[in-house]
Homo-oligomer: A and B are copies of this chain.
Amino acid sequence: MKKDLGSVLALYPTPLVVVGTMVNGKPNWVLVGHLGIMGHDHIMVSLAKPHYTNQGIKETKALSVNVVDEEMLKKADYAGCVSGAKTDKSELFDYEIGRNGAPLISEAKLSMECTVEDNYEMKTFDNFILTIDHTYAEEAILNEAGKIDYDKYKPILFEMPGYTYLRTGETAAKCMALGREMKEE
């Protein structure tokens, strides 16, 4: 018998990312853990409206989504502690400017360069729906087929109820392997 916790967000853990965008001519970085995948070619990042970053995203329609691993966690966490409206965070990360004009974090091993297709607005949140123009990855996190290899690359994950960052663990199974076994039983 399960316990009724009321209406509690429980879709964790999620990947943790640093979103980069140009705001008033300078790069700004914000930490985001509320996000998602829509269809097979869109991602979504959810940002409370008062964030300084939202202005830049609305103006430029261009942003980077940099996946956080343990090596960049300290700086990423810092980006979540201070607001770009009060503190200039432009030098927090070394960056390159992507083809769409958004700043990409050099030390992130995996980054997506994205364009805003739509904003699904809620009362206090902008939910930016993004197309992925380019995905950039370090060779070291790819397998022989050139795909991201989660045995080599371990993103940091976010969970709200305990307000912690978690590690990505080991492989439990290949998709459809267990289900196919069961079909044959």
Number of copies: 2
Q: How far is the CB of A164 from chain B (nearest CB, A)?
A: 5
- Does A134 have its Cβ within 8 Å of any Cβ on chain B? yes
- Least CB distance, A113 to chain B, in whole angstroms: 9
Q: Tell me if B37 and A14 are in contact (CB < 8 A).
A: yes
- Answer whether residue A133 sits at the interface, using C-beta atoms and an 8 A cutoff: yes
Interface-facing stretch out of A2-10, A20-28, A54-62: A2-10
Asked whether, in the complex, the Cβ of A173 is within 8 Å of the Cβ of B179, the reply is no
Are B10 and A139 within 8 A (Cβ)?
no
Is A63 among interface residues, defined by CB-CB distance under 8 A? no
- Report the separation of the CA atoms of residues A15 and B98 in the bound assembly, to the nearest whole angstrom: 30
Known contacts A161-B148, A164-B175, A175-B163; is A38 also within 8 Å of B44 by CB? yes
Is residue A65 within 8 Å, beta carbon to beta carbon, of the partner chain?
yes
Identify the closest chain B residue to A7 (Cβ).
B132
Q: Told that A10-B135, A73-B172 touch, could you supply 7 new A-B pairs with CB distance under 8 A?
A: A2-B109, A6-B135, A7-B134, A12-B15, A38-B120, A40-B125, A163-B176
- List 19 interface pairs A-B (beta carbons < 8 Å), by A numbering: A3-B136, A4-B135, A4-B136, A5-B135, A6-B134, A6-B135, A8-B112, A9-B43, A13-B168, A38-B44, A73-B173, A75-B182, A81-B176, A120-B129, A151-B162, A163-B174, A164-B171, A164-B172, A168-B169
